[in-house]
Structure 1
Amino acid sequence: MTEPGDDRADRWSALLADFERHLSAELGRSPHTVRAYLGDLRGLLDHLAETGGGVADLDVTLLRSWLARLHDRGVSRATLARRVAAVRVFTAFLHRTGHLDRDPGPLLAAPKQQRTLPAVLDEEQAAAAMDTAAADDDGSPLALRQRAVLEVLYATGIRVAELCGLDVDDVDRERRTLRVRGKGGKERTVPLGQPAMAALERWLRDGRPRWLVPTSGPALLLGARGGRLGTRTARRDVHERMAAASSGDDTAPHGLRHSAATHLLNGGADLRSVQEILGHSSLSSTQIYTHVSIERLTRTYNRAHPRA
């Protein structure tokens, strides 16, 4: 950062450290979100330093000028929206801790994002990917883990970070459910289909014990060195398995989440149930999948109806 003077730099560093603890311990934000927010706020404090002001000078006019500069530099709407979210949490924290007399965050409007329909597999493509993973299962720990990753992500629609955070005790084999810790530390129970449960059972019986080390802890999915499976490796598992599928579709873990949600709605699941399964705090986040289903329904209608 470019704060004028060592004292100011020290004060701002201490303030960001307090805010980091607030995000992690009190709000339960993920490490990824914490890193992103802190990066955004360092940019804001750089802008503040250029004006010669201090934290007490943060008001809606200064915040808007910072966002306007970012917009002029070509920063995307999605990134601007995330920075507005970070600032709102930060100014609320500053107001609560006495650093600001008023909280300017609520006066800051987030740019409207252009929501695009998520790319999804159709049911045949998803089935082909699962069948290919089963056919390529040679009994090695890697093959067993990759098959379990693919099956569980598609069966449940959970996020890849949620998958990697699962412990062995989070699997209820009798009820065929997973206990999932989502955003903000919120827990939910997600049903698990029979093929996914079978893939997990094989991993637990024949794969995990071969990679287990004393420091593995309770992690459900492991890397080759025995540590908890990381999100980057899980994404690579999905990309590799999807590339090997006969459909040739390169789908990321979030694509499997989109596909699971759309297929549930296509199969007759109600929107509230899908919201609960996905762990969305707002129903509006789930409603985008109805657009995907309607779009597909419209294409089918146009192809099939003689007076379409």
Structure 2
Amino acid sequence: MPAGADPGAGADPGAGAGRVSAARGAERFLRHVALERGLSANSQAAYRRDLAAYGAWLAEHGVAGLEAVTPDTLSAYVAELGEGGLAPASISRRLSTVRGMHRFLFEEGLLETHAGSAVRTPKRALRLPKALPIEDVEALLAAAGGDDAVGLRDRALLELLYASGARVSEVVALDVDDLLAQDGGGDAWHDPERALADGGFVQVTGKGAKQRLIPYGGYAGRALAAYLVRARPAMVERGRGTPALFVGPRGGRVSRQTAWLVIRAAAARAELTAEVSPHTLRHSFATHLLAGGADVRTVQELLGHASVATTQIYTQVTADTLREHYLTAHPRAS
């Protein structure tokens, strides 16, 4: 039994003066993250699942309430998750959620101590992003779409994913008004072919409802213009009218699942052996920019990472490439 457990706890862990049950604490914390942090519905659902699993574990081990939790209790929880075969990344996420709740309740004065402050996060295995070589990206984009309306849309979608490095959820959420032409390039609504020929900017809304402006180049601009002129109008007419940038044959906004299928189909046509997903294009975008000399902080801004440490994992990918070239080319490399 973990430290901090109360073997004599009754069936009502939320009763008693000053007692904070896991359920009560979780609800307080979930209201906080929903109202104060602006987390997405998916993130809130993940928090709720993590806290429900934690509450069930506490009840199973007879821990009467959150005030009875000690660092040893949380260490036992983490150890049991590992023994159950949960991946280190998943354990870290669950522990982060639980520690966040304990910290919040401590700062709110509902708990006298912050039990999670002394618990170490399990080390996560370093997983480098899988980026495609530039020639594979070019093959993928060339294989995307065709001359029909859906084909033009698919090519524009994939070109923009790679050109911007945006998350697939951010791209499918775009409206036409989020496309900005180069200064003096014209109106993206009324003259896309002129306005977007040299690229422009796209305004995306990322995690925490934070907006950022990302440039895109002429390849994506011309693909977008072809789609906006030759495909999207007829698609939108079949629906109820929508400001969405990327739409389906019936006029509705494209889903993330559709984007996955589009990429998978293009990868198959290009005969790529590597597994390709929307995130693969995001990884490739970052890796290729850094390999081309872009500053890490610039790439951080483009990707919408809150911390530069998240972006720096891509520098290890490019470092491997540099070392490979060095070993191949330098006369005294070995």
| Pairwise TM-score range, normalised by the shorter structure | 0.7 to 0.9
Q: Which whole-Å CA distance do the structure 2 matches of 1:215 and 1:27 have between them?
A: 34
SS in 1 for 2:312: helix
Q: How many pairs align?
A: 301
Q: 2:203 aligns with which of 176, 179, 187?
A: 179
Summarize the Cα distance change of 1:116–1:206 in structure 2 as closer, same or farther, 3 Å threshold: same
Q: Which whole-Å CA distance do the structure 2 matches of 1:152 and 1:210 have between them?
A: 21
SS in 2 for 1:188: strand
CA RMSD in angstroms, aligned pairs only: 2.5
Deviation at 1:263, TM superposition (A): 0.9
TM-score scaled to structure 2, two decimals?
Answer: 0.81
Q: Which whole-Å CA distance do the structure 1 matches of 2:227 and 2:106 have between them?
A: 49
Q: Which whole-Å CA distance do the structure 2 matches of 1:242 and 1:209 have between them?
A: 27
In the other structure, the counterpart of 1:41 is 51
Q: Give the letter aligned to residue 137 of structure 1.
A: G
In the other structure, the counterpart of 1:77 is 88
Q: Give the letter aligned to residue 173 of structure 1.
A: A
Q: Which runs of 5+ in 1 are unaligned?
A: none
Q: 1:159 aligns with which of 153, 163, 167?
A: 167
Q: Which whole-Å CA distance do the structure 1 matches of 2:266 and 2:45 have between them?
A: 30
* 8 Å contact from structure 2 (residues 14, 24) kept in 1: no
Write out per-residue CA displacement over residues 101-150 of structure 1, whole angstroms, 9 at most, x where no aligned residue. 333333332112111222111111111212222xx41222x212221221
Deviation at 1:97, TM superposition (A): 4.2
In the other structure, the counterpart of 1:269 is 294
Q: Which runs of 5+ in 2 are unaligned?
A: 1-9, 16-20, 184-199
* 8 Å contact from structure 2 (residues 25, 101) kept in 1: no
Q: Give the letter aligned to residue 215 of structure 2.
A: P
Write out per-residue CA displacement over residues 24-72 of structure 1, whole angstroms, 9 at most, x where no aligned residue. 3321222222222211111100011121412333333322221111111
Q: Which whole-Å CA distance do the structure 2 matches of 1:79 and 1:251 have between them?
A: 23
150-159 or 20-29, which moves further after superposition? 20-29
* 8 Å contact from structure 1 (residues 243, 249) kept in 2: no
In the other structure, the counterpart of 1:61 is 72
* 8 Å contact from structure 1 (residues 170, 179) kept in 2: yes
Name the structure with the higher helix share: 1
In the other structure, the counterpart of 2:39 is 29
Q: Give the letter aligned to residue 247 of structure 2.
A: L
Deviation at 1:16, TM superposition (A): 4.1
Summarize the Cα distance change of 1:304–1:83 in structure 2 as closer, same or farther, 3 Å threshold: same
Summarize the Cα distance change of 1:208–1:86 in structure 2 as closer, same or farther, 3 Å threshold: farther
Deviation at 1:4, TM superposition (A): 4.0
Tell me if 1:209 matches 2:233. Answer: yes
Tell me if 1:189 matches 2:213. Answer: yes
TM-score scaled to structure 1, two decimals?
Answer: 0.87
Deviation at 1:259, TM superposition (A): 0.7
Q: 1:259 aligns with which of 284, 299, 302?
A: 284
Aligned 1:1-308 pairs, distance under 5 A: 4=11, 16-50=26-60, 51-133=62-144, 136-140=145-149, 142-175=150-183, 176-212=200-236, 217-308=242-333
- Report sequence identity in percent: 39
Write out per-residue CA displacement over residues 164-220 of structure 1, whole angstroms, 9 at most, x where no aligned residue. 222222111235111122222221111111111222223333333333366564322
Q: Give the letter aligned to residue 202 of structure 2.
A: L
SS in 2 for 1:268: coil
Write out per-residue CA displacement over residues 56-98 of structure 1, whole angstroms, 9 at most, x where no aligned residue. 3333332222111111111111001111221122223323444
In the other structure, the counterpart of 2:191 is none
Write out per-residue CA displacement over residues 206-242 of structure 1, whole angstroms, 9 at most, x where no aligned residue. 3333333665643222244433322222122212212
